[in-house]
Amino acid sequence: MNITPEQIKEFLKLNPDFFAGHPELLTEISVPHPYSGQAISLGERQVLALRDKSRNLELKLREFIRFAEENDAIGDKLHRLALDLMRARGLDAVFQALYLNLTDSFAVPHASLRIWTEHAPDMPEFAPVSTDVKVLMTGLTAPRCGADAPDEIRAWFGAQGPHQQSFALAPMREDNLNGLLVLASEDAKRFYPEMGTLYLSWLAQLTAAACSRFI
């Protein structure tokens, strides 16, 4: 009766102390080296496997640390933006603080904003928008990132609109206003569909709250 590799594997899983009772097998059994192909003992192969596992865990830890540092940096930038918005004494100052922070702190090359409300000031940010844009904003439960944006929204960026390759569309909602904050970039990978949108949501909420104070 032939024993299959699956049966051997299942036996070892059910008997984890097998090699503890037969330590000589760790040096007697030879297996191929994972990189050179030379024969090595089972014990040596286990050491190599543990080293690889340790190396992979170290790489994952470094990645987690990098993500944490990036999140801390974004949090600091949002904090500074929030302070600037709170210090604003009018809509002009709100928009100036928003655009300046997006450009200088977040390195966003292009940003545009449209707000619709019952009593709209005579400012570019309150220019009329189509029903399609309003419906688009209403359907967004969270910011949307990717390469697609309606031609109307592209037109908000003037002559630069046709050159934009990626967009972040963040809905704005307050009791006395609705709106859409749009970030754009010539880099197709800057705003991609799989990216996280939590900070974009906070950015839109902060902007909406700041604007609502003066409407």
Question: What are the tens digits of pLDDT across the range 60-103?
Answer: 778 777 767 777 788 899 999 999 999 999 999 999 999 999 99
Q: Which of 31-45, 122-136, 190-204 has the lowest mean pLDDT?
A: 31-45
pLDDT in tens, 158-183: 999 999 999 999 999 999 999 999 99
Which H or E run contains 199?
helix 198-212
Collapsed DSSP state (helix, strand, coil) of residue 38:
coil
Residue written as tokens 């640390």? Answer: 65
For the domain covering 60-212, report its CATH number: 3.30.450.40
pLDDT of residue 10: 76
pLDDT of residue 182: 98
Buried b (16+ CB within 10 A) or exposed e, 102-140: beebbebbbbbbbbbeeeeeeeebbeebeeebeebbeeb
Record the tokens describing residue 78, joined without a space.
């949002």
Domain boundaries, the chain: 60-212
Q: Using the predicted structure, report yes or no on whether residue 37 has a pLDDT greater than 70.
A: no
Evaluate whether 42 touches 33 at the Cβ level (below 8 Å).
no
Evaluate whether 185 touches 166 at the Cβ level (below 8 Å).
yes
